[in-house]
Structure 1
Amino acid sequence: MTHYSTVIFDLDGTLLDTLEDLHLTLNHTLAALGMPTRTLAETRAFVGNGIRRLIERAVPAGTDEATVAKANAEFDTHYAVHCNDHTRPYPGVPELLARLRGRGVRLAVVSNKTQYAVDELVGIHFEGAFDAVVGVRPGVARKPARDMVDVAIAEMGGVACGPSVYVGDSEVDVATAAAAELPCLSVSWGFRTPEQLAETGAATICATADELERALDGTKGTKGDGFVWHPGTKGDGFVWHP
């Protein structure tokens, strides 16, 4: 039995490896506006707070708001066509979601991606897997505010069905879980390293889908991929031991 009856997932870097498509669209946008392009490593560091913030971080310092808005529109136009060119689920994720659904666990996605992109990618890769799919919407504060989590829980019928947990891959997700007053399980296969996650206060860091499933089950795991179950430090969980 899964310890949690509701699991709320981040999307980019947690369920789907979207980095290459984000990077290619970002560089298309920058080149279209005559701006210097960015490396894959820079793009990885910039993501997590939504497309607008990604663009604000990527454009040259001092870029005016009108140009940022133009870049945002160009990004959206290109990404709508190319959001799934290279995007794929992380290993073991589809199978994990299927097992959780088979146990009757409520599942949701909460993403700082624009709603159209969240809907499209979830529909392509995880059709029918989620009870709520929440992207950026007018009037709803984006993560790390708790508002999108609250919307997801409301769309699933509220909190009456039991304990909830938040799963993500970045410092934004750690902060979102804290704001929503939920436990957080962090994954290290996404856009942040284990060390970066630990520095932001992640207490449970899972290296594989199997480790994440054990953490969701509330059972102690075994050594794997540099992570060991280490009870009693920063919260019982998988922690990094280089």
Structure 2
Amino acid sequence: MQGGGDRRAPPGSRVDALRLRAAPVRHPRAEGALPRRREVQGDRGARPRPQGALRDHRHRRRARALSRRRLGPRARVQHQPVPDAALRGQDRARDRGHEARHLRRAPPLPVRHAAVVVLAAVLFDLDGTLVNTLAVCYLAFRRALQRAGATPLSDAEIHALFGPSEDGMMRRVLPETWQSALPGYFEEYERLLPTCPTVIPELGAALALLRERRIPTGLVTGKSHVTAAMSLRHFGLDDAFDAVEPGSPEGVVKAPAIRRLLERWRLRPEDAVYVGDGASDMRAAHEAGVIAAGAAWAYGARVAELQEAQADLIFTDAAEFLAWLDGKTRRVTPG
């Protein structure tokens, strides 16, 4: 057809068939000819570019060129040569600081529903700690020696024998006749008990406080079964303790007794305290692994001996000990 008519090939012609069979032209990126932007950066399995080279190049470009904004738009850019080693050192220091910020341990979260108890058990000595019976002990032992025809001992000499129970002490002084002299001591002790003051008021309040707060309380004494029962009955302390551990004639057994009680109560030694007035008490506490608290408020207290035995705490006032015990056994729920 001539003129400006339709120049398209008629349907069914050879030209039309070729046009229909031609493949559509697609973008090179769709065919995989060009890598994606993320593949250049090393993602999706592509081989990443060396990180060290990227880092060095970035810092080299930033360190060598001065800022155009500072020099003005028409100023010539001056380059300052910076050694590559210095750039890498600065980068490593910056990386270490970055890691330190991210690896810094966060503070522990507060426990809001658990009660905190500092002391889980309190153990006491008897003579010179709960009751002021040392004078009676000295006098009864001296009179028993006199009744046996032996040479009397001074208070200091009798105190030096402390450790084993009274039968062990008597065995050391009278190796041959101790069995006949021991009943005389029991009689004198029971006769002199009414002359003793009552339980130290602050210590009575401490026992009541522990019972109210349901803190396990024990008595670990060097006395024999006989004199320990006499003392508890006389002072009205029969029901004041959850357990009573008397002494032994063989020597000091307070450390094993403390461990035995804590194992029975299933408590850790570091959560318990033993309160006593003697250096042997402090040594026993250290051996058992509990807190060693020296009681220096009663008659005949020896503060220097407690210090030499490395007592963890020394109280010269029973009221001070009561205040400390109140704070260490108070159940506090953190807010």
Q: Same fold judged by TM-score > 0.5?
A: yes
| Deviations 1:157-190, CA, capped at 9 Å, x for gaps | 3327992111111111011111111111111124
| Cα distance in 2 for residues equivalent to 1:3 and 1:19 | 31
Q: What RMSD, in angstroms, separates the aligned Cα atoms of the two structures?
A: 2.9
**Residues 89-108 of structure 1: CA deviation (Å, up to 9, x unaligned):** 23421112111211221110
Give the whole-Å Cα distance in 1 for the aligned partners of 2:325 and 2:129: 15
Which residue matches 1:232? none
Residue 151 (structure 2) pairs with residue 43 (structure 1):
no
SS at match of 1:165: strand
Distance 1:11 1:46, change over 3 A: same
In the alignment, what sits opposite 1:237? none
Partner of 1:240: none
Q: Quick check: 2:218–2:241 contact (8 Å CA) kept in 1?
A: yes
Letter of the 2:207 partner, please give it: L
Residue equivalent to 2:191: 82
- 1:186 correspondence with 2:294: yes
What's the secondary structure of 1:136's corresponding residue?
Answer: coil
2:141 to 3, 23, 26: 26
1:217: Cα distance to partner? 4.6
CA distance in 1, matches of 2:137, 2:202: 22
- State the partner residue of 2:119: 4
Structural mapping, 1:226-241, within 5 Å: none
Measured after TM superposition, the shift of residue 119 of structure 1 is 2.4
Superposed CA offset, 1:164-219 (max 9, x none): 11111111101111111111111112443212211121131011222213333557
The change in CA–CA distance for 1:147 and 1:161 in structure 2 (over 3 A counts) is closer
Corresponding residue for 1:133? Answer: 244
> Could you list the runs of 4 or more consecutive aligned residues of structure 1 that deviate by over 4 angstroms after TM superposition?
none
TM-score, length of structure 1 as denominator length: 0.74
* 1:116 match: 226
Residue identity over aligned pairs, in percent, reads: 26
Distance change >3 Å, CA 194–CA 91, structure 1 → 2: farther
In the alignment, what sits opposite 1:152? 261
Contact 2:168 2:251 (C-alpha < 8 Å) held by counterparts? no
Shift of 1:151: 3.4
Three-state SS of the structure 2 residue aligned to 1:178 is helix
Do the aligned residues in 2 keep the contact of 1:10 with 1:110 (CA within 8 Å)?
Answer: yes
- Which residue identity does 1:34 align to in structure 2? G
Structure 1 stretches of 5 or more lacking a match? 220-242
**Residues paired across the two proteins, number:** 210
Partner residue of 2:170? 55
Tell me the SS of whatever aligns to 2:219.
strand
Displacement after TM superposition at 1:35 (Å) = 1.9
Higher share in helix: 2
Whole-angstrom CA distance in 1 between matches of 2:233 and 2:261: 17
> Among residues 249, 266, 277, which one is paired with 1:169 in the alignment?
277
Q: Is the 8 A contact 2:164 2:248 kept in 1?
A: no
| TM-score, normalised via structure 2 length | 0.55
3-state DSSP class of the match of 2:139? helix
Structure-1 separation of matches of 2:327 and 2:313: 11
- Deviations 1:132-163, CA, capped at 9 Å, x for gaps: 1111369xx753552222333355x3327992
Q: Distance between the aligned counterparts of 1:185 and 1:41, measured in 2?
A: 22
Structure 1 121/142 Cα, relative in aligned 2: closer, same or farther at 3 Å? Answer: same
Task: Give the 3-state SS of the residue equivalent to 1:36 in structure 2.
Answer: coil
Shift of the 45–91 alpha-carbon distance from structure 1 to 2, 3 Å rule, reads farther
Question: Structure 2: how far apart are the matches of 1:76 and 1:116?
Answer: 8
Distance 1:162 1:35 in 2: 45
Give the Cα separation in 1 of the matches to 2:126 and 2:159.
14
> Is the counterpart of residue 17 in structure 1 residue 128 in structure 2?
no
Q: Which structure has the larger Rg over C-alpha atoms? A: 2
